[in-house]
Structure 1
Amino acid sequence: MRTIRIPYAELPANARAAVEAHTGPALKADSASEGLNSEIAVRLVSRTGEYYVKGRRASHRWAWTQRREAEVNPFIRGIAPALIARVESAGWDLLIFEAVDGHHADYRPGSPDLPKVVDVIRRLGQLPCPTIELRHAEQRLERYVDRPEDVAYFAGDTLLHTDWNNTNVLVAGDRALVVDWGWATKGAPWLDAAFWVIWLIASGHEPASAEQWAAQVPAWQGATVEGIDAFAVANAHMWDEIGGHDPDSWTARMVDAARRWRDHRKA
């Protein structure tokens, strides 16, 4: 279920004051139309520049993702927009990032953005995994495998993003940047390319074409056939759970993409 978003003006005055201690007084604050997981997500303009502010109430069940994003940001410079500050005030937990001018990546077949996404996944895979608290891929996926021993395929020491929704990838000029790191994970180096496959299929690729793009990420070559098969099965089970009995059209598209990839791997 997506989070209900509020406009910046509805934040408590003390929370806005805490933000503007870092940005200067807000002259304009436009709510983002995509990525509806945050309770507040705005592009804020002040005399000192432009900023992206996102956050949740400190009591939210996913409030821990704010801390995770703040902790991982120093380790992903050049891959993600820089975090300027984290403020906790009036019951809110807010992150202030540099604003990036760009567009959400286009994953459709033939898109010129696809090589840039390959490049950013490759560069992410080359970064050292920080020694901060991270979820482990094998733990996140253990509920969804057909065989308990299959989780061993997902274990590793690589920093992963795991949520390759195209709205989480901003293309700015000749580079791509990745946002929304609350679900940063530690796991096998090929997993981010595998997570991307589902989004490519949902964007119009056939499963074989999506795998060909994933194969351009060097880490993909380190995956075993059995490991990819197990992941495709687990991911299909995960999306079936997310979709439930009556998924909305967006979720139904993802459920279908995950099932198509699973069936392709089993063929």
Structure 2
Amino acid sequence: MTATGPGSRSRPRPTWAELPADVRNGIEAALGARVVSARSAPLGLTPGLASRVELDDGRRAFLKAAGAHRGAGAVEKLRHEARVLGVLPGGVPAPRLLGFYDDGRWAALACTDVDGRVPRLPWEHAELDRVLTALAECAAAATPSPLTEPRFVTDWAADLTGWRSLDPDGVAEALPAGLARWAIEHLDDLARLEAGWSVAADGDTLLHGDLRADNILLTADRVYLVDWPSSSVGAPWLDLLFFLPTVTGADLDEIVRHHPLTRDVAPATITATVAAIAGFLVTVGLEPPPWYAPEVRRFQLAEAVTAVRWLRTRCAGPEML
């Protein structure tokens, strides 16, 4: 089955030819070569350009660009991603920065182009195993982090408060009836539970921060993690826990029990973090979608259902509410 994801029905992105001439010239100067062809990746979860380009010196690159008119955060995200890609340790399975352009209004980064494909959905066990192995390798290579900021616990402090802000009507709107009844019955308990997510979340690992199938590329022999604008520094197991609600057809607790990043983490810490992730997904899934990605909330609510089901299972076991 062909993979789909939260950007699969987004509005088309701008193309290379649609960028202002001075921006194109500045990007080429940063790369030290002229763009001779560009093939746009037209769909995605950001409003800027995303294109595979060929340069007149024979190199290929993946180019992202955005102007401040596309949103106040678009340019800053590219700036942050460029900082991250510029210092990634060699063992991190990610593209490498080739050039960066920033004129205050527009920013663009070019990185090595990975000739790979996204995982097939629903997840195939062999591909999921490859990705889970890559996450452990990535965390090991990214520890200690080459950056000290931003801290995950600071970046996410306001977002991981979903159960504390949700009301029963919102829960009922977001979740299937049976799951909604359970969450509403335990809303106060879930709010208290999620409040413990930050106790062990600080750490010294450079985290990707936004792992899902469309940010992963598979080649014949490697797994690459792409798109790093949400990166922060925290505990090494956080990327895995945020990734798992995007996976269907797998025993998530079995993965947590045996994965090297989580097998030694206290079960109470895992449960509190899963509660915080579930509350976040329910909350964000109820927000109006951004204009450039009208389908994204549907995918986030699907992830919310997976996360809340997982949470209910954990709360029925040793971490019973």
Q: What is the TM-score when the length of structure 2 is the normalising length? A: 0.73
Aligned counterpart, 2:66: 56
SS at match of 2:36: strand
Range with greater deviation from structure 2 (240-249 or 92-101) = 240-249
Deviations along 1:172-216, whole A, 9 cap, x unmatched? 11110111111112111211111121111xxx225xx13333445
Decide which of 85, 90, 93 is 1:77's aligned counterpart: 90
Larger deviation, residues 41-50 vs 241-250: 241-250
**1:205 — aligned with what?**
249
Provide TM-score, normalisation by structure 1: 0.87
Q: Which of the numbers 230, 239, 252 marks the counterpart of 1:183?
A: 230
Q: CA RMSD in A?
A: 2.5
Change in Cα spacing, 1:245 to 1:41, as seen in structure 2 (3 Å) is closer
Higher mean C-alpha displacement, 144-153 vs 80-89 = 144-153
Gaps of 5+ in 1: none
Map 1:88-167 → 2, pairs under 5 A: 88-89=102-103, 91-106=105-120, 108-127=122-141, 128-143=143-158, 144-145=160-161, 146-147=191-192, 148-167=195-214
1:259 aligns with 308
Structure 1 segment 9-48 matched on structure 2, within 5 A: 9-21=17-29, 22=31, 24-47=33-56, 48=58
Q: Which structure is richer in relative contact order (CA contacts within 8 A, separation 6 or more)?
A: 2
1:86-114 C-alpha deviation (Å, 9 max, x unpaired): 11147210000111100012363434222
AA in 2 matched with 1:115: D
Q: What SS does structure 2 have at the residue aligned with 1:113? A: helix
User: How far 1:126 sits from its partner (Å)?
Assistant: 0.9
Please say which of residues 191-200 and 134-143 is displaced more in the overlay. 134-143
Cα distance change on mapping 1:215 and 1:105 into 2, 3 Å: farther
Q: Map Cα deviations across residues 39-93 of structure 1 (whole Å, 9 max, x no partner).
A: 1111112332221001221463222222221122222434111110111147210
**Preserved CA contact (<8 Å) 1:105 1:166:** yes
Give the partner amino acid of 1:105: P
**Residue correspondences, number:** 262
C-alpha separation between the residues in 2 aligned to 1:256 and 1:149? 21
The question of whether the paired residues in 1 share the 8 Å contact of 2:13 and 2:41 is answered with no
